[in-house]
Amino acid sequence: MADKKTPAQLRRWFDSAEFRDLYHTDAPLGVELEEETTVFRLWAPTAEKVTLNLYPMGDGCDATLSVPMEPGKKGVWACRLETNLEGVYYDYDVTVDGVLYANTQDPYARSAGLNGKRSMVVDMAEANPTLWPEDKAPARAAEDVIYEIHVKDFSWDACSGVPEEHRGLYTALTLEETTLDGKGKVPTCLNHARKLGATHIQLMPVYDYGSVEEGAAKDDPDVFNWGYDPVNYNVPEGSYASDPKDGYARIRELKEAIQAMHRMGFRVIMDVVYNHTFQLKENCLFRSVPWYFFRQNEDGSASNGSGCGTEIASERSMVSRYILDSVLYWAEEYHIDGFRFDLMGMLDVPLMNRIQEALDKRFGKGEKQLWGEPWAGGTCHPIAGTELAHKGNMRRLDASIAAFCDDTRDSVKGSVMDEKSVGFVNGGGVPADRLARCLRGWAGDNGDFAAPSQTITYLSSHDDWTLWDKLITTLDADAKDYNGRPEKVLAANRMAFAILSCCQGHLFMLSGEEFGRTKQGVKNSYKSPLDINCMDWQRCADNADLVEYYRGFIALRKQLAGACDKSAEAGRRVLFMRQVNRDAAALLLKNGDNEKWPRVVLAVNASQEAVTVSLPEGEWAILADGLRSDLWKMPETIIRRVSVPPMTAMILGEAK
């Protein structure tokens, strides 16, 4: 720029078509490593000077060489060195308007040293596990059952059966036959998820994030964070690696984990956070092009639509390119099968559609899946006229892009915003019309979604209270015994999952929900120590009956075509039967004439008294009730009416 601009002036300049025309580029960025040369490229169109610094190590020590870079077309600075610098660490000094942004990481870096402070030149082929080129995901199952895990808390428990040297690390995800205390009876970790019936493992953030000290996290249960604090978007997190100082270890071990999960029959979903960064002026995106990658208020200050202090300007062309490049990189290089977008409601609709289109073109229609949260953490400030990917705009997204359905979540158990709020299973009544909308995935004429293909149906995730803790708070508030087994809480939990299993959409669950996972009532445990966040695998054994209930319903759901239908016409399968009383209702779900059970009845009784439900003409079989979800294996045939016990959801199938 010829003249120094204020942040407010920069906002208008960066938003202009003139800036886009001058500086948008599709040229290669990052490091290009060849046999005898290494080329560094950084997009820094507002810089007046850029220097490349080279280091022998990822932390400590001074630079061994500093080389001025040359400005080129479209704002790309480049430096070509006639040597192979594989294994060398580097960063940039970027000067803009006389201000030096020293030691700036490469936004396109593929690995880094300790805590991501220095980028690393890597030969990605050198980091590949054995037979990596042959790795591929299992074929898409008839139904999606998505199981959300955090790398560290999933295997940290001493009862997990995971050897101590692997606990909390990527390497724990390569173990296929783990059992409780290693004694071979109760499956744990991925062995448990496989036997439960999960088809997808959704990994909470595994890119390099900034809220933990990587060198300390391996051995300290108090060094913990969910990881929604991006630093290096294209670098694996080092705290899950066996050696966080080794820039190759984090790559190789994450790939080994993905390879193992594919081998076990899982598809792998990556939780991505392209809506904000851990810091503003300390982040490499800001330091390479001050303010460009971030939305601003009218006065030029940082907008905070994320609620975390920063807000990525996804609608600007080079930001859009960066996010698309990053998604494609993870899909290609790490064989990631899909992406869960944190606060997707902050990203723009055209970008989300471009990402899905690019993935479909490169990998085949529907091979890579996208979903996200259709909301923001605050008020966003995009370029005027930008359509954001929130609930109100779901119909403007590709029909295969899905979003979490908070309407079903809150209808079943009460709002996550209010500890005492209740839903169907804990005293809020069971209005048949609302139950029907849940079964339709809140899609169609009266819903936010065009089709159930856009609905992620769930009861709990890492955010907010676990399902168990919410039920304890609303049903056992006097005792608040999170570690006990109150029968009314168990009954409500079973009823909640029975309802969810009949809802159209993609089925999603927080790991441990199936055995009453508790965080001792902590709502937002994003940085709580592992004694709060850790998966308690002994609890899996103690609540084996609840685990079996989930397992049976997952298997049953996969046989219900009416629940698994993702088409725009799926809602027509859900028919009203009757409202029995305030707390009881019954609905009819059409599976299809050629199915095992052409029609299915869901009867829900959340009252304290048994109710009688009249059935359509024909013979009916009880497939599941309030205690057992495997009755479909040996169905009992009845005619005309059924008595539904208190606090029970019952599934009945029409006998052919």
> Would you call 476 a catalytic residue per the annotation?
no
Rg (CA), the chain: 26
In the set 15, 214, 253, 342, the catalytic residue is 342
Instruction: Quote the tokens at residue 19.
Output: 């800036």
Instruction: Quote the tokens at residue 597.
Output: 């059970």
Q: Which residue has the tokens 């407010």?
A: 8
Instruction: Quote the tokens at residue 488.
Output: 């009314």
pLDDT recorded at residue 478: 87
Tell which residue, 254, 149, 148, 156, has the closest CA to residue 207. 254
- The alpha-helical segments, DSSP class H, found in 476-600 are 487-501, 530-533, 537-542, 544-557, 561-564
> Would you call 373 a catalytic residue per the annotation?
yes
DSSP string over 314-325: TTSHHHHHHHHH
Walk me through the domains of the chain, giving residue ranges and CATH numbers: 7-127 (2.60.40.10), 572-654 (2.60.40.1180)
Most distant CA pair in the chain, distance: 84
The whole-angstrom separation of Cα 407 and Cα 385 is: 27
CB 461 within 8 A of CB 403: no
- The residues facing 191 across adjacent strands are none
Question: What residue type is assigned to position 472 of the chain?
Answer: I
The whole-angstrom separation of Cα 581 and Cα 489 is: 22
Tell which residue, 110, 116, 68, has the closest CA to residue 86. 110
pLDDT recorded at residue 219: 87
Distance of CA 279 to the CA centre of its chain: 21
Rounded to two decimals, what is the model's pTM?
0.97
Neighbours of 310 (CB within 10 A): 23
- The residues facing 615 across adjacent strands are none
The whole-angstrom separation of Cα 361 and Cα 584 is: 47
CA quadruple 421, 424, 428, 432: dihedral sign: positive
Q: Which parts of the chain register pLDDT below 70?
A: 1-2
The whole-angstrom separation of Cα 427 and Cα 42 is: 58
Tell which residue, 260, 247, 245, has the closest CA to residue 171. 260
CB 346 within 8 A of CB 313: no
pLDDT recorded at residue 640: 85
CB 289 within 8 A of CB 313: no
Angle CA(436)–CA(440)–CA(442) in degrees, nearest 5?
95
Neighbours of 110 (CB within 10 A): 23
CB 335 within 8 A of CB 303: no
pLDDT tens profile 327-349? 999 999 999 999 999 999 999 99
Output the CA torsion 135→138→144→146 (10° steps). Answer: -40
Distance of CA 89 to the CA centre of its chain: 31
pLDDT recorded at residue 1: 44
The whole-angstrom separation of Cα 465 and Cα 557 is: 25
pLDDT recorded at residue 2: 53
Q: Is 104 helix (H, G, I), strand (E, B) or coil?
A: strand
Of how many residues is the chain composed?
656
pLDDT recorded at residue 166: 97
- The alpha-helical segments, DSSP class H, found in 264-380 are 284-288, 317-333, 349-363
In the set 144, 157, 373, 536, the catalytic residue is 373
